[in-house]
A and B are shown apart, each in its own frame.
Chain A
């Protein structure tokens, strides 16, 4: 995968350097501008993912406990709402309330990406065979031990699948950060569309796609390592 991406980026570089760029294109297609935008984009994605993991997984675990099960439709409905609202609308609404900037873009991303992880955590834990939990209890494990050693372990593949989905979503939605002064590759894409400068648009699009694929690949590698042996 990384080799494939390197080839794509190499081709992109060759194609762009073969073009004659005018002053508008030179202002965006230079190392300084591109590195800042890619860094912004990666930061947004990574921070959003960390926050999503920190919020959605504990919340999902909590909602899968028998005592809190009645709450889960309510919370899931809210999470659905976050996902169903058009991301750009969500960002502009947040901006009207709280002003512009990196934090707002981050909040929008987290609201948007929380659903897949939350839902997969709940489903992942619920699908664990009750017989296994009973057996673990029968062996003398406490409830916490059952959760930690049996339920979560068995739910990991499903949770990670949700996380990978969330990551790829986040990379895509992070392009909208450009509308609220949070930078990212959306700067290039919007600029390219508005000014009809194809090399700018293509560079922004290809870089975003490469980041999405790379992030998905990293997610796949992480899954290999975190997956309990024998599943």
Chain B
């Protein structure tokens, strides 16, 4: 809920960023003119992390002299992917696991991040002419989280602990998950099988992702919630993420995707962005996401400030 005081503050912040936007934006060609004359359209999916990654790309390309159109915040993964394939956008960040499962229609993910990346990059290039840049260390995969004090009380730190709890105190092993998660091989059916958990149906509530976080925080409907590992709300709601000690969940490493002709024509794009990808870890991304989701900063400013802080931009 937005309190009136916060609302006023938010409007003020908005007015200030509008006035001072020049200061938060990179100067075109400030790092060189390698991409002068080139025009790119950068897209993103519709959640903060994807938008931040989109702005990181926009800033880096502008700094090297390119003209960039901002098409971030496209509704839905599939629409974003289709925009790339149809040429409506030239590039956006996607996740190795999403490419494998959603676009290439595989059901069995590969356990090793590097192998997963190589497999998806190879098949997507052959089948759809899509090039995948170097993957970031950030792995935005599934996890179960619990509010910190309850987690300590139950002594649950890993998913194996959770499986033990489900055996000994089944009434505490209650879950809030998304309907999507409930049917994926790499979701509920798989994780319960891998850890040998046998959870009765009435202990599993299917809800929207936003509701998963609020209910996990409240702890009335469920103790454990299905979350995404880079989500800023994990820290802001003071949730503990359980360790996936059998490494069951697939790898969802972020990587820039672009059509082959763009990558061939402008090899500098990946050359400039691969080092940036290497710096994007789970911790960094959680922090950047929280700045947008919890503190209400603009994704553009968050992206810019981080690039400056890491020394990629002057």
**A100→B205 contact, CB < 8 A:** yes
Shortest B308–chain A CB gap in Å is 36
Segment from A56-64, A154-162, A185-193 that makes contact with B = A185-193
**Interface presence of A96 (CB below 8 A):** yes
Given contacts A27-B189, A100-B215, A183 and B183 within 8 Å (CB-CB): no
Shortest A199–chain B CB gap in Å is 12
**Interface presence of B281 (CB below 8 A):** no
**B179→A180 contact, CB < 8 A:** no
Shortest A38–chain B CB gap in Å is 16
Given contacts A27-B189, A195-B184, A187 and B206 within 8 Å (CB-CB): yes
Query: How far, in whole Å, are A100 and B178 apart by their CA atoms in the complex?
Result: 13
**Interface presence of A2 (CB below 8 A):** no
**Interface presence of B208 (CB below 8 A):** yes
| Mask: chain B, 236-257; 1 = CB below 8 Å from A; 0 = not | 0000000000000000000000
Shortest B52–chain A CB gap in Å is 21
Which listed residue, B76, B184, B207, B214, touches A181 by the CB 8 Å rule? B207
**A178→B206 contact, CB < 8 A:** yes
**Interface presence of B12 (CB below 8 A):** no
| Mask: chain B, 174-205; 1 = CB below 8 Å from A; 0 = not | 00101110011100010000000000000001
**Interface presence of A165 (CB below 8 A):** no
Please give the number of chain B residues whose Cβ is less than 8 angstroms from any Cβ of chain A in the complex: 27
In the bound complex, residues from chain B placing their C-beta under 8 Å from that of A179 are: 207-208, 211
In the bound complex, residues from chain B placing their C-beta under 8 Å from that of A195 are: 101-102, 180, 183-184
Given contacts A180-B207, A181-B206, A195-B184, A187 and B179 within 8 Å (CB-CB): yes
In the bound complex, residues from chain B placing their C-beta under 8 Å from that of A96 are: 214
In the bound complex, residues from chain B placing their C-beta under 8 Å from that of A183 are: 206
**Interface presence of B17 (CB below 8 A):** no
Query: How far, in whole Å, are A19 and B249 apart by their CA atoms in the complex?
Result: 28
Shortest A177–chain B CB gap in Å is 10
**Interface presence of B77 (CB below 8 A):** yes
B residues contacting A by CB (< 8 A) are 76-78, 101-103, 105, 107, 176, 178-180, 183-185, 189, 205-208, 210-211, 214-215, 218, 220-221
| Beyond A92-B211, A99-B218, 15 extra complex contacts between A and B, CB < 8 Å | A22-B107, A27-B183, A95-B211, A95-B215, A100-B176, A100-B221, A179-B207, A181-B176, A181-B206, A181-B207, A181-B221, A193-B76, A194-B178, A195-B180, A196-B103
* 14 residue pairs from A and B, CB less than 8 Å apart: A24-B183, A100-B207, A100-B215, A178-B206, A178-B208, A179-B207, A179-B208, A180-B207, A180-B208, A186-B179, A191-B179, A191-B180, A193-B76, A195-B101
